[in-house]
Amino acid sequence: MKFYVESVSKCAQRLGTLSEIDAKPSVSIKTPAVMLHTQGGQIPHITHEVFKLVSRDPQILQIPLAGMHTFKEAMQYYEGTISNFIGSKDSLTCLTLQDPCNITKQGHNSTLKVPIWTKNGKVYYDAKSYMDVVESFKPDIYFLLSDGDTNISSSEKRISKSLSNTVSFYKECLERHRKSQTLANSFVIAPVVGGYKQLAREKFLKSILADVKDVGGFLIDGLHNNGPETEFLEFAEIEPVVKNILNKLPTDKLRVIQGCWNPVNVINLVEMGIDLFDSSYCHILTERSAAMTFAIEPTDQTDTYEINLRDAKYLDDFQPILTGCNCTSCTKYSRAYIHHLLSVHELLGPILVMIHNVYHYLRFFEKIRKCVKSNTLQALQVSITEQFQNHQKTK
């Protein structure tokens, strides 16, 4: 797999393509793009079969190890890839460590080991055990192991430990990758850690940038501890950190960021040059019974940013979630019916909300790519920001 970028600016919006995928030579992914967040190999509330009602385009599935640890032993005896194992052989897979939807508990990291929280409790991974899993899963893309347990409040001591651990992981994982025939065609993404300390980030980059021959991209890690709080991070806080990192990264490498960023921050990050995100924001919204209704095109018939379908005012509202939306939920069901399903805790309720949210989010990224190509991203940014600010005022 290779990443081709159409422009090579240090810190500016850009278009790119992930292509030349050995197992799927006909597949290419245009960037800026979004990985589909999964838990246990499935998009929350949506089976792979149901997702075909949302889109039939090639997708990248984000596979957090935190949700797949229980399958580790089975995968050691399974000859196929993780995409075959989860029943989505036509999708690309990206193995990550933590689940961006769930808060990563702080203070549990130890020297050269990183914890994940599974259904069976806390499990530690070092570089060897992590790469054992990577080799058995055989993903198309994977993140190197990292100690990203930092945020804006992290101490100098925690950041220093994060750096030393991640540098060691980087060297050991990359050495293992180079020796592995199984992973010869896997696309490697290296983490960049250092919290909100610019000097720490620069120190880390100096430690790894001399040896990036087999690295296809970089993950900007350590900005948050995942979970719903990421949605409300102030862009002004992360902007200088992200900008400094991007100015020092090779321009021909994929740039990735994880987390349930709100649409305003997604556009801001795209404008800075981020190429790949994840769809955990869709899951966060669905868990609070919220549906995206912000206008993507000027012709979209909406005056709300998002709606909470548990609200009693939708009891007899027979409009679709979003007028003009072509997703299955909007073409076949009403707000009132979905409100009823959510109120009585029917499983179909969150399924329909999630179908709409993922459909709308994919459409949002399609619009972003069009705007970058036509140099009109700023107009979309103004529109989405205005809708977001109006929504915040009504809370």
In CATH, what number is assigned to the domain containing residue 41?
3.20.20.105
Cis peptide before 32 (omega within 30 of 0): yes
Last residue of a domain, one of 259, 286, 313: 286
238 and 162 in one domain? yes
Task: Please tell me whether 45 is known to bind a ligand.
Answer: no
Nearest to 307 by CA among 204, 299, 323: 323
221 and 130 in one domain? yes
47 and 171 in one domain? yes
68 and 15 in one domain? yes
51 and 29 in one domain? yes
Task: Please tell me whether 94 is known to bind a ligand.
Answer: no
131 and 116 in one domain? yes
- So what's the pLDDT on residue 110? 82
The answer to whether the Cα torsion of 231, 233, 236, 240 is positive or negative is: negative
- So what's the pLDDT on residue 299? 87
Task: Please tell me whether 356 is known to bind a ligand.
Answer: yes
Residue 8 has pLDDT above 90, yes or no: no
Q: Is residue 260 within 8 Å of residue 244, measured between CB atoms?
A: no
Residue 137, domain extent: 2-286
Higher pLDDT, 395 or 148: 148
- DSSP β-bridge partners for residue 43: 46
Please give the structure tokens belonging to residue 132: 């054992």
| pTM of the full structure | 0.96
Q: Is residue 53 within 8 Å of residue 351, measured between CB atoms?
A: no
330 and 262 in one domain? no
pLDDT in tens, 285-308: 999 999 999 999 988 889 899 999
Q: Count the helix, strand and coil residues of the chain and give each as a percent rounded to the nearest 5.
A: 40, 15, 40
Task: Please tell me whether 11 is known to bind a ligand.
Answer: no
pLDDT in tens, 352-370: 999 999 999 999 999 999 9
pLDDT in tens, 55-88: 999 999 999 999 999 999 999 999 999 999 999 9
95 and 70 in one domain? yes
% of the chain at pLDDT higher than 70: 99
274 and 309 in one domain? no
Higher pLDDT, 105 or 219: 219
345 and 276 in one domain? no
296 and 229 in one domain? no
H or E stretch at 276:
strand 276-278
pLDDT in tens, 82-123: 999 999 999 999 999 999 999 998 888 788 999 998 888 899
Burial class (CB in 10 A: 0-12, 13-18, 19+), 218: buried
pLDDT in tens, 14-57: 999 999 988 888 899 999 999 999 999 999 999 999 999 999 99
Which residue do the tokens 């990735």 mark? 256
Last residue of a domain, one of 286, 307, 339: 286
Query: What are φ and ψ of residue 191, in 5° steps?
Result: -80, 150
The mean of the pLDDT values for the chain is: 95
Q: How many domains does the chain have?
A: 2
Last residue of a domain, one of 269, 286, 303: 286
144 and 235 in one domain? yes
Residue 209 has pLDDT above 90, yes or no: yes
Per-residue pLDDT, averaged over 182-208, amounts to 96
- So what's the pLDDT on residue 178? 96
- So what's the pLDDT on residue 9? 66
Nearest to 151 by CA among 259, 266, 64, 288: 259
